[in-house]
Amino acid sequence: MSATFRIKICGITNVEDALAVARADADAVGLNFYAKSPRCVRVEHARQIVEALPARIVKVGVFVNASCDEVCRTFDRVGLDLIQVHGDEPPEFLSNLGARPAMRAFRLLEGRLAPILEYLERCRELGCLPRMILIDSHRAGAYGGTGALADWTAAAGYPAADWHPPLVLAGGLGPENVAQAICAVRPAGVDTASGVELEPGWKSEILVRQFVEAAREGFAAAR
């Protein structure tokens, strides 16, 4: 299976919501293993969610400053397809994941792409470029899931050289703005958590379906 996707619903905490995401025809789900997140899920529960999903759905594990051993052990035990590295991990961390595919998440601070590009250049030197990168909003002390908008103008400046990994846009996206965001930034994919929730960790199937439909319209319009 390809470890890339176009539409991801993150922060899945139960089988019911996971199946709703599949019914809405999204491409990926995110399972959060960060203990301080309200969307954190235990390993065995995550495994049950993965086993309930169709094979076509990309299963992404979200990790924040976990040890490489813990990340690799969880990836293998749960049956994940992609590792989302969402903390302060250096490029060398990605090189220690072996053949396990990774997506590196960045919190965009003050519209500054330069630190992201420097990070990717180092990954290129080490031979561990991520499959995709994710640009999220920056909020001090938080590692995503805040509902704050990312800087679309800055994200749109992400380079499109052949070696640069595809860009996934996150940060404050919902059914009401995802199509506009896609047209403004032209990312390879989009990601939402709080934008389709009733409360942290519990999704609205109606909002999930609306988000997927709006995202697909946005991608069609941005061709």
Alpha helices for 80-204 (secondary structure H): 91-95, 114-126, 152-155, 178-185
Q: Is 136 a catalytic residue?
A: yes
Of 10, 40, 123, 128, which residue is the catalytic one? 10
**Range list of H helices, 35-113:** 43-52, 68-78, 91-95
Q: Are 143 and 134 in contact (CB under 8 A)?
A: no
Q: Rounded to 5 degrees, what are φ and ψ at 209?
A: -65, -40
- Return the pLDDT at 109: 78
- Using CA atoms, how far apart are residues 182 and 189, in angstroms rounded to an integer? 8
Write down the pLDDT at residue 112: 85
Tell me, what's the pLDDT at 145? 52
Q: Which of 17, 27, 136, 151 is catalytic?
A: 136
Cβ-contact 212, 28 below 8 angstroms: no
Burial class (CB in 10 A: 0-12, 13-18, 19+), 110: exposed
Low-confidence ranges of the chain (pLDDT < 70): 1, 138-147
Q: What is the pTM of this model?
A: 0.94
**Sequence-ordered list of residues with C-beta below 8 angstroms from that of 141, at least 6 positions apart, any chain:** none
Domains of the chain plus CATH, in order, are 7-221 (3.20.20.70)
Residues 37-53 pLDDT 10s: 999 999 999 999 999 99
Q: Nearest Cα to 182, choosing from 195, 193, 170, 194?
A: 170
pLDDT of residue 8: 98
